[in-house]
Amino acid sequence: MTSARTRERMVAGLRDRGIGNEEVLAAMGRVPRHLFVDEALATRAYEETALPIGWGQTLSQPWEVARMTEAVLEFEPRRVLDVGAGSGYQSAVLAELVESVWAVELLPRLARRGRQNLRGLGYANVHFRVGDGRTAWRDRAPFDAGLAAASADSPPQELFGQIRVGGCLVGPVEVGEEQRLLRWVREPDGVRAEDLGPCHFVPLRQPEGASSS
């Protein structure tokens, strides 16, 4: 259930659901998703479903990871901010495609797991920090693009300042009783929002004395 053939079936399903960027599909096929969940869930890693990774957090379903990555890659970024990195899977997919990934996770124990996963797989181009996703890697900004993997009631205004003019930020927001995946494009005179469709993510958590490292 964790074989290359299983990954190929996942990729075929993503293609059938409208993911058209072949570089993204290839990266999804290369990254061993089963290593980013508990061993007991490894056989379900390539199903089209979100999976728990502990501490009330989940690994987003493959389509959402692929769609967010595809939306960011349209802007040909070199440096990408990954907010809410969790166990590191989204960062790994991005690391296959861009020059550097700057990941931040609020929960220290989950961040430790994510950092270990990425180091174990040799992703030397991922920089991992424990801290509040809203301030994230402000000292290393601006980034060409960013991803936010937790939903909020309103756009993450604090993150826009970390994205360069001409870049984009992709993430979920609460709209009524549903979540929508949006891409915000930072323009010289403001931010333009594009609706990429429905999605489902865990809510953005409030920091409780989070620190960076």
How many Cα atoms are found within 13 Å in the side-chain-facing hemisphere of 12? 6
CATH (residue range 50-199): 3.40.50.150
pLDDT digits (tens, 9 = 90+) for 182-198: 999 999 999 999 999 99
Residue with tokens 């390539």: 46
Q: Is 211 a catalytic residue?
A: no
- Which one is catalytic: 60, 87, 91, 151? 60
Secondary structure E strands in 77-162: 79-83, 100-105, 126-130, 143-148
Element (H, E) at 23: helix 22-30
Longest dimension (CA), the chain: 49
Report residue 67: phi and psi, to 5°. Answer: -65, -40
Q: Where are the domains of the chain?
A: 50-199
pLDDT digits (tens, 9 = 90+) for 78-114: 999 999 999 999 999 999 999 999 999 999 999 999 9
212 — pLDDT class (breaks 50, 70, 90): very low
